Amino acid sequence: MEFRHLGRSGLKISEITYGNWITHGGQVEADAANACVRAALDAGITTFDTADVYAGGRAEEVLGKALAGERRSGIELFSKVYWPTGPGRNDRGLSRKHVLESIDASLSRLGTDYLDLYQAHRYDYETPLEETMSAFADVVRSGKALYIGVSEWRAEEIRAGKALADELGIPLVSNQPQYSALHRVPEAEVIPTSRELGISQIVFSPIAQGVLTGKYLPGQPVPEGSRATDEKGGGANMIARWLKDDVRERVQELKPIADDLGLTMATLAVAWVLQEENVAAAIIGASRPEQVTDNVKASGVRLDDDVKRRIDEVLAPVALTDPALTKSPDPRP
């Protein structure tokens, strides 16, 4: 396992990070989740990403129990706040009230005294940014989180957040966007802005919800038990955009490239995102330990320019690149 600095901070994280969106507390049972976490630890992964909203809080609980007994200073634990965690009007967003209540709830579920990174899960257009960053500053000063990050913020939002964080003297070091060889939306604006500001990307869905594994064949029904059939966890909605036959056909053209390198298609997809220097880590998820074992093989892989060009040429007709597609609950037109 190789490690990278998170932004311009001194914190190093494993470039393959284990995330439990969809899986823990939802798609897989606790025993399988524990086995996947154990496989991650055995493979050298030290960084774990979750969120308060995943599986209604159960994902944090499962991860906390799976990591119980590990040396706390030997792992990096990340969580997030924004999406609704209760029925009340203030059980959502990035208000001071919700941020300060949510950090305590996350720490309790995870069974820890602090997070290494606390992230704003989306930008909140209903709360002044000054209020949000002030609340995050109090979280850091209280010792409940060491660093601050954001997720799926637009370039101009990242810039404004970083300016306020600098004024408050708190380390805003990361952004967590969706990024893969199929979803290249951050490249136009978010990555250049982040590089300028000393902020890293911790990317999710590097294998495009499983499509880049090549298991979704053109003209064939989706495999039973795959993410495409997971209506409960939300995976089916996320993956739908990639299940068109033109995408599936293009993805199959990557198999000879992976074979030539002695890699599985999943490993190739994770390695592809790690070629971007602004990416500090690629988040992988798993429902089986062998998926973890396969994906961690991407750590340290260097793709030469010709290989990367071939991949990009194959996927260019179906890849998303428009920076306006950066996710946001922005109510503006």
Which H/E stretch holds residue 11?
Answer: none
18, 54, 118, 179: the active-site residue:
54
**DSSP for 282-330?**
EEE--SSHHHHHHHGGGTT----HHHHHHHHHHHTTT-B--GGGS----
Tokens of 151: 């997720």
Of 10, 7, 6, 54, nearest to 28 by C-alpha is 54
Going from the C-alpha of 217 to that of each of 214, 241, 247, 252, 331, the distances in angstroms are 7, 15, 10, 8, 37
CA dihedral 105, 107, 108, 113 (to 10 degrees): -140
- Residue 177 in contact with residue 185, Cβ under 8 Å? yes
Of 34, 17, 138, nearest to 78 by C-alpha is 17
Q: Among this protein's residues, is 114 annotated catalytic?
A: no
Interior angle at CA 58, CA 52 and CA 61, nearest 5: 85
Orientation angle between helical segments 190-197 and 155-168, nearest 10 degrees? 20
* Rounded Cα distance, 124 and 126, in Å: 5
Please list the active-site residues.
54
